[in-house]
Amino acid sequence: MSSSLSKILKRINVRDAIYLSVFAIIIFLIVKMMFGGIFGLSLVVIENGPKSSMWPTYDQGDMFLINRCSPEKIEMADVIVYESANSFNDGILIIHRVINITIFEDGTGSHYYYRVSGDNPITNNNVDNYNISSTLIPYDAVLGKTVLLIPKIGYVRLWMTSFPAVRYIILGALLIFGLYLIFAPDKEEAKKAKDAVQKDREKDICLFCKNKIEKTDDQGLGVCSNCGKQSPHCEICKNPMTSDQPLLQAEACEHIYHEEHILEWLKIKGTCPVCKVKINEKTLRSWESSEKDEITSSTEETIDKEFRNLGQQKTESKFDFKLFLNDQWTKTKKNFKELFTVKQKRIKLIIFVSVILFLIIAIPVIDTLIRYPNLITAIDDVRLLPYKEHEDESMVFLPFTIYFKHDGSWNKVLKNFEVLGIQNDTVLSTMKWYSFYQVEGNQTLSGSLIFNSFEFNANITLTIQIYYSIHYRFGGDRSMSYLEDFNLT
């Protein structure tokens, strides 16, 4: 049993197994957040639609990462998820925007309540009723506020919810695939090694007399037909060394290797592949045929199998992070130098830079051409809808619709806005809005203001002032404002 287990473990690539384990944990956390929650984080999906209660800002299939934060961290304009206690949708999770925050103080501390409404300008012109008697949503009913949007990926969740068996089929398939990746032999690595050996044999040249090696001895090692000397061989690939190959010799044990092979070997193991003495790049020196006329056969043990199955043998090695960084830095310097010295890479660099410069110049020009003439990207109009009094809560709910016009520019998007309700030069109510999406094109957006019924007067003029930001993809943000007076009678 133990021998069978050891054979299985030897076939496992530890590094790949770690990567796959991390990936599996991430998948588990995502699934756990989709069907429950973990570490105060959950994933929720807008299930109704199309044109849900949060349309056009968000719609069916959009998935949100929500965080169960403290009550004071929930602010105006945040989109929260709460569990409804209304008789029509008791226990259902609702995703709506905060339009009012009310704090009650008593001997036990501060108690937070929220009023919310959807963004849909057609169907959501009312404040949400938390239960049959109140629009105030207690903090205890709030699952959290949205902190991240994952567009449309929620359709996977809806599909998996509708067909539970699919959930287990997918997880089973992922498990089988992961096991295959762990235990499958690295055929590509073996093929590369075989091709390298074949390529080297095609150009075997004696290191001593420079004559082509045309025969081999009983061990398969090259023997020069001109001078009769046995060609020294690489202690890793066992292939004869040739005059056109860079060779390295270990100072500690004097074994010789192809430079490419030993450097690749040292990324995985820090010892000589023959005698296991510790070596590194600093203890290797260049080897020339003039240094030695004869090379003693290094060992009776063959490591050809170990080299060909190098991908499986990585499990026995320790990863040298310092050596890895040094190797990457060396490769980076080499590639950077070749950008200016190698003709083909220089041409690629010129093409790449030319494309970037073209895009930088062309995009603003094209953007100018596609704009609608005589049209400004801005709020074009605001229309108030009939206000509604909630006498039992001393509250007045005033819905309105914002018409946002866009000149067709790809560079401009609506970022956020803040609405002020003003009477007698006093701000009586505010409302904020923002979106994880970048809102493009013409939009009809819903908004609402909550007034204290003791302060609100329907017989005098109401001023609506809106401060909003237009975000430029190639630049910063531009602050703009809109002001209009309304007669409510």
Residue-by-residue DSSP string for 85-118: --TTSTT-EEEEEEEEEEEEEETTEEEEEEEEE-
- Which CATH number is 187-308 given? 3.30.40.10
Q: Of the given ranges (52-61, 118-127, 215-224), which has the lowest mean pLDDT? A: 215-224
Q: Which residues, at least 6 apart from 1, have a Cβ–Cβ distance to it below 8 Å?
A: none
Residues of the chain with CATH 2.60.40.10: 378-486
C-alpha pair distances (Å), 264 with each of 82, 112, 173, 189, 269:
57, 63, 34, 12, 9
- Taking the CB of residue 203, how many other CB atoms lie within 10 A of it? 12
pLDDT of 210 over the 70 cut: no
User: pLDDT tier at 63 (50, 70, 90 boundaries)?
Assistant: confident
Question: What is the rounded average pLDDT of the residues 388-401?
Answer: 92
Q: Of the given ranges (32-41, 43-52, 303-312), which has the lowest mean pLDDT? A: 303-312
Q: Which of these CATH numbers, 2.60.40.10, 3.30.450.20, 1.20.120.1200, 3.90.380.10, describes 378-486?
A: 2.60.40.10
pLDDT of 103 over the 60 cut: yes
Residues of the chain with CATH 3.30.40.10: 187-308
Residues of the chain with CATH 2.10.109.10: 35-162
3-state secondary structure of 332: helix
pLDDT of 11 over the 60 cut: no
pLDDT of 314 over the 70 cut: no
| pLDDT tens profile 422-454 | 999 999 999 999 887 766 678 889 999 999 999
Of the segments 80-84, 175-179, 202-206, 363-367, which one has the largest average pLDDT value?
80-84
| pLDDT tens profile 104-139 | 998 889 999 999 999 998 888 889 999 988 999 999
Q: Which residues, at least 6 apart from 283, have a Cβ–Cβ distance to it below 8 Å?
A: 250, 251, 252
- Which among 243, 219, 241 is positioned nearest to 231, based on CA atoms? 241
Question: What is the rounded average pLDDT of the residues 165-174?
Answer: 72
User: pLDDT tier at 277 (50, 70, 90 boundaries)?
Assistant: confident
pLDDT of 40 over the 60 cut: yes
- Which CATH number is 35-162 given? 2.10.109.10
